[in-house]
Chain A
Amino acid sequence: APVKLHFPHPQNSNHKFLSTTIQVIEDDRSNRGSEPFVTGVRGQVPPLVTTNFLVKDQGNASPRYIRCTSYNIPCTSDMAKQSQVPLAAVIKPLATLPPDETLPYLVDHGESGPVRCNRCKAYMCPFMQFIEGGRRFQCCFCSCVTEVPPHYFQHLDHTGKRVDFYDRPELSLGSYEFLATVDYCKNNKFPSPPAFIFMIDVSYNAVKSGLVRLICEELKSLLDYLPREGNMEESAIRVGFVTYNKVLHFYNVKSSLAQPQMMVVSDVADMFVPLLDGFLVNVNESRTVIISLLDQIPEMFADTRETETVFGPVIQAGLEALKAAECAGKLFIFHTSLPIAEAPGKLKNRDDKKLINTDKEKTLFQPQTSFYNNLAKDCVAQGCCVDLFLFPNQYLDVATLGIVTYQTGGSIYKYAYFQVRTDQDRFLNDLRRDVQKEVGFDAVMRVRTSTGIRATDFFGAFFMSNTTDVEMAGLDCDKTITVEFKHDDKLSEDSGALLQCALLYTSCAGQRRLRIHNLSLNCCTQLADLYRNCETDTLINYLAKYAYRGVLNSPVKTVRDALINQCAQILACYRKNCASPSSAGQLILPECMKLLPVYLNCVLKSDVLQPGPEVTTDDRAYIRQLVTSMDVAETNVFFYPRLLPVVTDVDSDSLPAAIRNSEERLSKGDIYLLENGLNIFVWVGVNVQQGLIQNLFGVSSFSQISSTLNTLPVLENPFSKKVRSIIDMLQVQRSRYMKLIIVKQEDKLEMLFKQFLVEDKSLTGGASYVDFLCHMHKEIRQLLS
C-alpha cells in the first residue's frame, strides 16, 4: 500500500509517520527471510540485501549476481521517460555465494565450444526456444533461428522442452559457466596461469614506519594461500618481487640459486624488465630463496635515506614483466608518497581545498596527467590488474594514482598516517583477503538484451574501448558493474525482457571460461506495475554511481540538484499517475520507494557531494572510486550505516536489532556500534555502568577509556567476548576490514561520529531526514502544479 504522509508544516511534522529504514528492513527479514527465493518465475522482486535468504536457481540468475532497479519494465520509452525511474542492473559476475548455495556448473562442449545464436551471438540459455523437433532454436534475444549443431541435438518432449533439459545447466539454470575454446583466447593461444607481482615501496617513510618489515613478514606466510582452482593441490599462480624508491629493484628468486639476486634498474624513463628467468616463480619450488629475500629486504633498506619515489615506472615494470611472461596477472603495489622523483608519471602537489564549491571542484577528481590513462589502456590489453595499497602521510593524489587501478578492475586500500601498532590488523586482514579472494583475469563482459532495450551506460572499475564490451584486466568477487538500459523499441508484456551477461575470463589456474548470467524481467503498460516492482536499494546504488561520475564533469551543486530533481520527478509521476487523488499537502510515496528520500538524503550528505572540513581531497577521490565498484548491500550500509545497541544480554547469538541513525536514539547509559563498511565506531555513553566499562575496556572508569585504541582489549568475560564476537561478525560480512574507532560521548571524536548519524542535521549543512522530506515534498508539489 502507498505510504501517505501529511505535511502541512515541517515544524509540526510528526516523526511517528516517517518511514523508518529499520522497520522496512525488519519487515522484509521476517516476511521473506524464511523461505528460499526460487528464481524460476519471471520478474520477481528479490528480498532486500539486508535479509538473509537462500537462493534456488531455477532459470534466472541469483540476485547475488544481478539486481535491478525494477523487475517490471515499462513497455515503451515514453513511459520510462515519464516515470524517470532509471532502468539499471547491478551485476556482480563473480559474487561469492553462501556455502549452502551451489556454484555455477562448468559446462564443457569440447572443441566446438558453447552453442550460440548465429546473429547476436547470445549463448545457449533457458530462454532459447527449440523448434522443428529440436533441430533448430530461435534466439530469445534477437529471434534469429539457428541450426542446432549435430552433437548438441536432442529430441523435444510434448511441451517442447528438450528431454535433456534438466541435465544441462545451460538449459535449466540462470547462471553457469562454459569452458572456452582457443577461439576465445588472446592471440589464439590458451593462456598461461596468471602471476602476482608484489611491488614494495622501500623509501624512507615505508622503512621507518615498519611497513616494509611488516609486508615482508606477512608475505612469507601469505604466499601459501594464493588462490587455487577447485581441489588443486597448489596454486598455479607464479609470484615475483620488486622493491622501489627512485629506482626499481627486481629480484631473481630462481629455485636453483643459493641466494636471491637483486637487479637494479635506474633507467626509469624507459622501463624494462631486466630478467626473464627467475623473476616469476612457483612459490613451492623457490620457497627458500623467497624466504631469504623477504628476510633480507628490510635489512637491505634499513639505512635508506631516499625519500623520493616513482610510481608510473613501477606499474610499467609490472606490465612489462607480465608481457615478457606472456600472462595476465595482478600487481600488488604498496606505496607511501606522491611520486615526485623525475620519471614518467611524476606528479606535483595540486591539492587545493579552496576549489570546493567552485566550478573547478571537479578538477580535484580528475587525474592531473593523462599518462596513467594511457598506461591503464596498456595494462588492460595485457590483463595486468593493479591493486594499490596506499600509506600516505600527506596528499598523494589518489585521483591520479588510482586511475590505473580503477581502469584495470583493481582495488585501492588507503591507510592514512599508517602506524604498525594501530593499523597492522586492518592492513594485514585486507591484504590477506585481497590476495586470497577469487579473481578472474583478462576479462571481457558483454550484456545482451532482448529486442526493445539495450545497455547504454556502464559504471564501475573497468575500461571500455567500444560501446559494448566492458574490459577488466582483473575482476574479483567483490567488484560490481552497474549497467543502465534504455529503450530502442517497444517491449511486449508477453515476452518480457531478457538480460544475458556473459563474462569471458581467465581463471586463477589459467583456464579460459565464460560465465553466463541470465535474467528475465516483466514488462508493463501500466506505470503502477513499474512502481510496484522497484527496488530502492538498487536505485540508490545506481543514483550514487551516476552522481559520483557526474562530479568529474559538473559542479557538485549541479549534480546534487539533478539528483533531487530526478527523485522528485519519479515521485511526482507516481503521485500523478498511480496514487488515488488526495490533498496536495499529502506526500504519497510508493510502498517500495518509501525509503527513497531518506537514502537519497544520505547520498547527498556523503563526503563526495558535501564534504566536511576534516575530509581530505584524497579521501573524497578514494570514496568516489570505492563506491563506483560497490554492490547494493555495500552502498546500502555505506550511505545508511548500521547502528546497533550493544545489549547486555550475552546469551543471544544473533546480532542486536538495529536502530535509526539519529542522536536521539542514543542513550547515555548504553554502548552502541555503528558500521558503514569502512569504519566501526564503538560509542560509549557517559553514564555507562562502570562494570561494563571494566568488562569491555579493562579500565575502571569512563574517563580512563583511551580513544586512541583501535581494538577492544581481549578480556575473559562474557560481555567482552560478546561485543568482540559481534564486531567479528560485522567484519566478516564486509569485503574490507573496518577500522575500529572508539568514541566517548562528548569527546572530540564524537563530531566525526555524528557525521554518520545520517537522519540528523549534519554540521556541514546536510538536512535532517524530516527537513529533507519536506524539501522533497515541496519539489514534488512544484512539479505537480
Chain B
Amino acid sequence: MATYLEFIQQNEERDGVRFSWNVWPSSRLEATRMVVPLACLLTPLKERPDLPPVQYEPVLCSRPTCKAVLNPLCQVDYRAKLWACNFCFQRNQFPPAYAGISEVNQPAELMPQFSTIEYIVQRGPQTPLIFLYVVDTCLEEEDLQALKESLQMSLSLLPADALVGLITFGRMVQVHELSCEGISKSYVFRGTKDLTAKQIQDMLGLSRPAVPVQQGRPLQTQEQPAISSRFLQPVHKIDMNLTDLLGELQRDPWPVTQGKRPLRSTGVALSIAVGLLEGTFPNTGARIMLFTGGPPTQGPGMVVGDELKTPIRSWHDIEKDNARFMKKATKHYETLANRTAANGHCIDIYACALDQTGLLEMKCCANLTGGHMVMGDSFNTSLFKQTFQRVFNKGFNGDFRMAFGASLEVKTSRELKIAGAIGPCVSLNAKGPCVSENELGIGGTSQWKICSLDPSTTLAIYFEVVNQHNAPIPQGGRGAVQFVTQYQHSSTQKRIRVTTIARNWADAQSQLQHIEAAFDQEAAAVLMARLGVYRAESEEGPDVLRWLDRQLIRLCQKFGQYNKDDPNSFRLSESFSLYPQFMFHLRRSPFLQVFNNSPDESSYYRHHFARQDLTQSLIMIQPILYAYSFHGPPETIAQWQKAGYQDMPEYENFKHLLQAPLDDAQEILQTRFPMPRYIHTEHGGSQARFLLSKVNPSQTHNNLYAWGQESGAPILTDDVSLQVFMDHLKKLAVSSAS
C-alpha cells in the first residue's frame, strides 16, 4: 500500500480535497478527543486538464431529502437497472437514457477514477459576463492616469460579448450611460444619501414604467432589453466610446481645502452599483470592481471624517472603542455584501493608497462574495498593474480563471454531520438531517453560495462525527462525503462538479495508530488556522492565542509519547512532528497578531488567508527562506555588490549568484495572486525589517550575549524563539498538573 503521504497527494490531485484525518474515528466521543476536528480543505474548481466535462445531466437519488448524485461508490444492479444511493440507501431506477449500461459499459460517473466529475447542463438562457467598474476620481493626477490606462487596457482582455459598465465617484456618484451617441450622459447621485434598491432603479429609469396598454396591440417585448443596456453594454460595441470616456475622466472637480480629505462617496457608489445589477441582472455572473484611492469620507459607509487632523482608526482606537464610524460603516457594507451575494454577484476591491482606505469596514464585500481584495500604495505601481491584469488571466483551455454564482452542497453519510464552512462564501440556510447543531465557521446549513471563485479558491469544511460510541460501525465501513458545486463557468455555461470521497472508519481505542498515521498535519494546521482567524475576526486576539495554545497542548498530550513530568522524554511521531512549528509561526503571523499592522492590513491578510489552497496557506503561515551563497558570510556579498564585481566579466559567477534569487523571486511573483509586495534589500537595509519580522527570532536583543557573537544580527522582538516555544510546549504537555 502506498504511504499516507502519497494517498493524500493523490486525493488532493484528483479531488481537490485534503482531510485533517484520513482514517476517521468511529464515535462522537473519540472524535472530540482527537482535538483537531474532522475537516477538509476543498478546492471546488481545482484545475483538472485531464477531466473533460460530460455533456449531460447528473442522475440524482430520488429521495427528496437526499438527491445525492450517482457516483462510483453506489451499488449498481446492472440487470435490474437499479442503483442504491450510498448516502441514504434508497434504491433508484436509472433513467431511460441509461438503458444500455452494463459492467463493461459504464457511464463515467460510475468509474472509480471519476470520483470527481463535471457536468455541463442546460439551464436558462446564457447571459454574458458582466464587469461593472466603480472608479474613485479623488486620486492624484498621476494615479488617476495610471488607473485610467489600466482600465482602458482591461477592455481588451474582456470577452468581446461581456457587458461592461462604468460608475465614477468622488463627492457625487455618476452612473455613465454608454449607449448614447454625441452627448455623453450620466446619472448623478448625491454622495451623502443612502437610497434603497427601488429608489436607485427608479432614478436610473430601470423600473419598467406601466406601459399604457393599447387596445388590440400586443406588448412590444423587443424594447425590454434596451432599458438596462443603457448602462451595461457589450464591450465590442462600445470599447471605443468607453476608452474615450475613460480617457476624459477628470479628477473630482470639487475643491478640497487645505487640511481636508477629499469627499469620497464610496458607500453610495457601491450601493448604486449593487442596486443597478440587482435590478438588471440578478443571478448572473457579474463583477463589481471597485477602484479606490482613499477612505470613504462621507455618506453611508464613511470610515473617517474629512478633517485630516483626525487620523483614520487604528487597532488602538478600536480597542478603546474610539472608532466612531466603524460599526455603522461595517453595517452598511455588510448589508451591501449580503445583497450582492443574494444576487450572485461579487465585489472586488482594489485599494491603492499610502494610508488606510477602509478595508476593515469594506472587507465583507469581498469576503462574502468571493471578490478579490488588492491593497497597494498606488495605482501607478507594477504591483497593481500586474495584479489587475492577472484578474483576467486565462486557464489551460483559454477560459478565464473565474467562475460565478456557485453553490456548494455537501452531503454526508449518516455517521457524519456538517458543522460549517470557512471561506469566501455565505450560507444558503439549507437545513437538513446532515446539518450539525454545533457550528464551526458558517454553519447551520449544508449549502453555501460562492459568488465568485477561481481554480484555487479553497474552502475549509468542518464535520462532526455523530455515530454513538455504543453503535459500532461494522468492520470495513466507510464514511462518505459528496460535494456538489453548481456554477456559471466563465464561458457562461452552467456546470456542476461532483466530488464523492470515502474514508475508512477506525475504532480510536483499538486502532489509534491507524488514525494517527493518517493524520494530515499540513491540512490540520491550515484548518486550525482558519478556525483561529475566523475567531479572531470576532474575538479578542489574546483569547484566540490562548485557545490555539490549549488545542496544541491537548494534541501533544493526546498523541505525544512521553513520561509524565519529563519534558526531555517528549516525542511526536512523524505525522505530527511539524505541527507545533506551524502553530508557532501561526501565532506570530499577521493573521492573528495585529501589532505593527493597521486594521486594513489585518483585514487584507485575513481575506487572502481564508481562500488560498493548502500550499499557499502553509507558506503564508510559515514563510520559506531560501539561502544562496558561496558559503561566505552574507555581509561580504553586499560589499562585493557595492564594489560592482557583478559587472566584471571575470566574476560572472558572482553575477549569476546575485541573479539567481531575483529570477526565483520573479517566478514566484508570476504565480501568485495578488502579486506579492516585492522587497529587495540587504543586510542592515531599512527594508530588511520586512524579512526580519518573518524569521525565527532565535537571537534577539534579550538573549544576544547568551548565544555568542558569531552568527547574524539580533532581531528586535520580544517574541520567543521556536526553541523556547518548543521547550515550553513540552513542559506543559508532559505536566501532570494540566
Contacts and interface: CB of A to CB of B under 8 A. Distances in A.
Contact of B189 (A267, A275, A277): A267
Contacts of B184: 259, 261-262
B190 A259 contact: no
A260 B248 CA distance: 12
A378 to B, nearest CB: 18
Contacts of B255: 276
A615 interface: no
Given A272-B190, A275-B253, A277-B253, A267 B183 contact: no
Interface residues of B, number: 21
B204 interface: yes
Contact of A267 (B190, B248, B254): B190
Interface in B169-202: 172, 174, 182-190, 193, 195, 202
A274 B188 contact: yes
Contacts of B254: 276
Nearest to B193: A270
Contacts of A1: none
Contact of B202 (A264, A266, A272, A296): A266
A262 B180 CA distance: 11
Contacts of A262: 183-186
Interface centre among A257, A259, A264, A293 (most CB of B within 10 A): A264
Interface in B254-278: 254-255
A299 B180 CA distance: 12
B253 A264 contact: no
Interface string A206-230: 0000000000000000000000000
Contacts of B183: 259-262, 293, 296, 300
Contacts of B172: 272, 274
Given A259-B183, A267-B189, A275-B253, 6 more contacts: A262-B184, A263-B174, A266-B205, A267-B193, A270-B190, A299-B182
Nearest to A264: B187
A265 interface: yes
18 contacts: A259-B184, A260-B183, A261-B186, A263-B185, A263-B186, A263-B187, A264-B185, A264-B186, A264-B187, A266-B187, A266-B203, A267-B190, A267-B193, A267-B195, A267-B203, A276-B255, A277-B253, A300-B183
A478 to B, nearest CB: 36
A278 B253 CA distance: 10
Contact of B253 (A259, A267, A276): A276
Contacts of A300: 182-183
Q: B interface, by DSSP: helix, strand, loop or mixed?
A: mixed
Interface in A254-308: 257, 259-267, 270, 272, 274-278, 293, 296, 299-300
B357 to A, nearest CB: 25
Interface centre among B188, B189, B203 (most CB of A within 10 A): B188
Given A274-B172, A296-B182, A263 B253 contact: no
Given A267-B190, A276-B253, A277-B253, A261 B185 contact: yes
Interface string B197-222: 00000111100000000000000000
Interface in B584-633: none
A278 B254 CA distance: 12
Contact of A259 (B182, B186, B203, B205): B182
Interface string B403-427: 0000000000000000000000000
B185 A265 contact: no
Contacts of B193: 267, 270
Nearest to B187: A264
Contacts of A299: 182
A38 to B, nearest CB: 56
Interface in A290-343: 293, 296, 299-300
A260 B184 CA distance: 7
Contacts of A277: 253
A317 to B, nearest CB: 11
Contacts of A259: 182-184
Nearest to A262: B185
B165 to A, nearest CB: 15
B178 to A, nearest CB: 13
Contacts of B190: 267, 270, 272
Interface centre among B182, B190, B255 (most CB of A within 10 A): B182
Nearest to B211: A305
Interface in B279-322: none
A664 B422 CA distance: 101
A263 B182 contact: no
Contacts of B195: 267
Contacts of A293: 183
Nearest to B252: A276
B659 to A, nearest CB: 49
B188 A264 contact: yes
A276 to B, nearest CB: 5
Contacts of B204: 266
A444 B289 CA distance: 54
A705 B195 CA distance: 61
B301 to A, nearest CB: 18
Nearest to A272: B190
Contacts of B203: 247, 266-267
B638 to A, nearest CB: 52
A277 B255 CA distance: 10
B722 to A, nearest CB: 60
Interface in B131-184: 172, 174, 182-184
Interface centre among A247, A265, A267 (most CB of B within 10 A): A267
Contacts of A260: 183
A266 to B, nearest CB: 3
Contacts of B202: 266
A263 B173 CA distance: 11
Contacts of A272: 172, 190
Nearest to A274: B188
Nearest to A293: B183
Contacts of A263: 174, 185-188
A260 B186 CA distance: 12
Interface in B228-256: 248, 253-255
Contacts of A264: 185-188
Contacts of A247: 203
A276 B186 CA distance: 15
A617 B190 CA distance: 39
A274 B185 CA distance: 12
Contacts of B248: 257
Contacts of A267: 189-190, 193, 195, 203
Interface string A704-729: 00000000000000000000000000
A278 to B, nearest CB: 8
A203 to B, nearest CB: 14
A267 B200 CA distance: 9
Shortest beta-carbon contacts, A-B, top 8 = A266-B203, A274-B188, A262-B185, A277-B253, A264-B187, A263-B188, A261-B184, A262-B183
A257 B195 CA distance: 31
A341 to B, nearest CB: 12
Interface string B346-377: 00000000000000000000000000000000
Contacts of B205: 266
A247 B205 CA distance: 10
A300 B248 CA distance: 22
A694 B136 CA distance: 72
A261 B254 CA distance: 17
A68 B184 CA distance: 57
Contacts of A261: 183-186
Given A259-B183, A293-B183, A265 B253 contact: no
A260 B180 CA distance: 13
A278 B184 CA distance: 14
Contacts of B253: 275-278
A250 B193 CA distance: 20
Nearest to B175: A264
A65 B184 CA distance: 50
Contacts of A296: 182-183
